[in-house]
Structure 1
Amino acid sequence: MVKSSESLHKFKTYKSDAAPFFFYIDIFPLDLENFTAPLSSVLAKHVKNNPIMPLPMRVDRVFNGESSIIIRPNSPVSFPLNESIIAVINPIPFLQSGIENLLYFAEMRSKERLFRSLKPEKVSNWMENTRFLYGNLHQLEEDFSAFLKAYLYTIIKATVNEKDIAGAAIEYCDIINNICKKKMLRNKILVEINSNQESVNLYREKKAKYREKLKVVKKTEYHPELIDIEVYNFYETNFPKQEDFKNFISKNYDIIVMKYIPLLLYDDLQECMLQNMRLLETNELELLNPSILLENNVILLLDSEKTESIKLNKYDWLTDLGEIDIDVILNSINQSLIPKNKM
């Protein structure tokens, strides 16, 4: 069967895949040695010091203009740094920075694999198809919040209190590594469909035998499970208010049940943290300066005496993300690709 021209110039995806992803905060700049193609090298330099990284990299959905689900904390993410200061993640600047990385990587991957650039209309379709979607992923939301709070508790706290950043970075990676490790060892995640909760396995184990050099070797294989996820589309009504979000959607919205593989989220993030810990041990790379997140208002430092829960609600994640500016990122990508002698 001959593939159509359109299918040859797009990434293969599956309609049943909800394609959820989240953003985590990295501690090292991009290693430019990993970007050998001239175009990729140019693009990577632009986002080298942007620490908000998507995981997994759903460049396929961005390029194709298809929806994905952004996993969001179900409440504002904050942590007290001392008696007078509370650190808060500012959702829109955080997601703007993360989506910038996602689009830059989408441009790199599409050029390398499909020999095509991102089309603005496809990227806009992806954003419009994605920003109104909510996936009922309560445990992942809690873990995502824990990952972000770990950064506030360790690295931002050390920055504000003028403590050892390297030691804080080790603690940060260790916290996330342990969360992922415990989740995978337990091999359980809670699924909620139509208000019915069920604990299901992240993976199944299979005993396998292989012949190596005339010997039979027994190994345990781990096969990720496809897990159900409720998906809500708030395109017509917009997101409910945070205080009655869960109760409201259970009574007023029909759901679409799709699939995803949660094991990959934890496994990929753990691998990132283990790699960071190896780099910290060898002291090969200089840590990213966390002050860049403060300067860009991705993380805010608030006076704890003047901060109440009502005021923190302004940093809610459950919105339509209408303030995300895709055009400014696409323009930046185009400007990055213009040879300097032509600018």
Structure 2
Amino acid sequence: MTFFRSSKSPPLKLKSFKKDIAPIGFFFDIIFSESFKIPILPVPLRIDKLTNGEPTVIIFPNTNELDELCSEYNLNINYNLLYSIGLNNLITHAKIKYKEITLKTLNPKKINEWWNSSKNLSSKSIDLMESFTLIFSEFIRVFGYKIKNNLKFNDEVFRKILIEYCDKIIKHFRFKIEENIFKMKQENLIIQEKLYIEKKKKCYPLVHEISVLDRSNNKTYTREFVPYLIYDDILNCFYYNKSILKKELSGKMINLKLYEDFNIISSVFSFNRINYKHHSDLHNLEKLKLNKILEVYKDLKI
């Protein structure tokens, strides 16, 4: 028997562009995934910057708005834990996909290089911040409603509420994509840019520039990103979630209880109100230690 090898060798590294800052955000997913022990989802799920040890910038929601909303529902979000889990999920996913593509194990030095070059970065994209604030806000409302009405996670009423939640997010991002709207700040003005151009009934995503602050040296520089790809990934995620919710009647794939069990989201009444404060200092990711991120599931004893 003769075996033939593919003439195409696996790549030595994944292609990436130096000017691309590759923004990434995180949110509470509602569908159980075997890939992540706790389904805090990184979006988009791209791994090129991480595996090459190159910087990316984290998109944060408006925590002042979220704090006010959490207060209405007597909820607290442990953002340090949320982002530690989300970053761990991203790293785990990158390791798996990198090995599938290159047939090699990802060098831990690349993870260190990526984290050290990314943790001090911040950027204020109005549209991205508003979009992730919306996702967080709608999730908080759903979670707060569940607690207020003492609904079970496998309750049929709660499943319908989750479908409505997906519909709201889908409606928002479909509108943005169909209307081809992306807000950006130019000096002191808010301007509207396009997400893409259309030619011969084909869509071509546009590259936009974004200002990035490096807090380690207090310098600001300009980098590029493609917002359409982020919004398209979010839209696909919620379409998928809705499809699962509509056909998965047993509730086995709805895994929100993990967020309560591990105090990622907790009721203010579950601990001393005097010691209660919101964790709004998201923009200091450098306080998160990489070794703690890598060990977060071990610390949670999962």
Give the shorter-chain TM-score range: 0.7 to 0.9
Question: Is 1:300 the counterpart of 2:266 in the alignment?
Answer: yes
Correspondence for 2:257: 291
State how 1:182-331 maps to structure 2 within 5 Å. Answer: 182-195=175-188, 197-206=190-199, 208=200, 220-236=201-217, 254-283=219-248, 286-303=252-269, 311-312=277-278, 314-323=279-288, 325-328=289-292, 330=294
Question: Is 1:96 the counterpart of 2:84 in the alignment?
Answer: yes
Correspondence for 1:170: 163
Correspondence for 2:19: 16
Q: Give the match's secondary structure for 1:315.
A: coil
Please state how far the C-alpha of 1:277 moved relative to its aligned partner: 1.1
Gaps of 5+ in 2: 1-9, 152-156
Please state how far the C-alpha of 1:329 moved relative to its aligned partner: 5.0
Tell me how many residue pairs correspond in the alignment: 280
Q: Per-residue CA shift, 1:69-126, capped at 9, x if unaligned?
A: 100123242465797x422332111101101110110111111001122222211111
Q: Confirm or deny: 8 A CA contact 2:26 2:86 kept in the other structure.
A: yes
Determine the C-alpha separation between the residues in 2 that align with 1:332 and 1:95: 10
Paired AA for residue 289 in structure 1: N
TM-score under structure 1 normalisation?
0.73
Q: Per-residue CA shift, 1:131-152, capped at 9, x if unaligned?
A: 1111221121111011011111
Paired AA for residue 268 in structure 2: L
Determine the C-alpha separation between the residues in 2 that align with 1:55 and 1:177: 15
Determine the C-alpha separation between the residues in 2 that align with 1:201 and 1:68: 23
Q: Per-residue CA shift, 1:270-295, capped at 9, x if unaligned?
A: 11111111111112662333221122
Determine the C-alpha separation between the residues in 1 that align with 2:71 and 2:225: 39
Gaps of 5+ in 1: 1-6, 33-43, 209-219, 238-253, 335-343
RMSD (CA atoms): 2.9
Q: Give the match's secondary structure for 2:243.
A: helix
* Alignment equivalent of 1:154, drawn from 142, 150, 168: 142
Q: Per-residue CA shift, 1:2-40, capped at 9, x if unaligned?
A: xxxxx942211001111001012211112x5xxxxxxxx
186 and 88 in structure 1: CA distance in 2 versus 1, 3 angstrom threshold: farther
Please state how far the C-alpha of 1:322 moved relative to its aligned partner: 1.5
Determine the C-alpha separation between the residues in 1 that align with 2:120 and 2:296: 25
Q: Confirm or deny: 8 A CA contact 1:92 1:321 kept in the other structure.
A: no
Larger radius of gyration: 1
More strand, by proportion: 1
Q: Confirm or deny: 8 A CA contact 2:61 2:136 kept in the other structure.
A: no
Paired AA for residue 293 in structure 1: Y
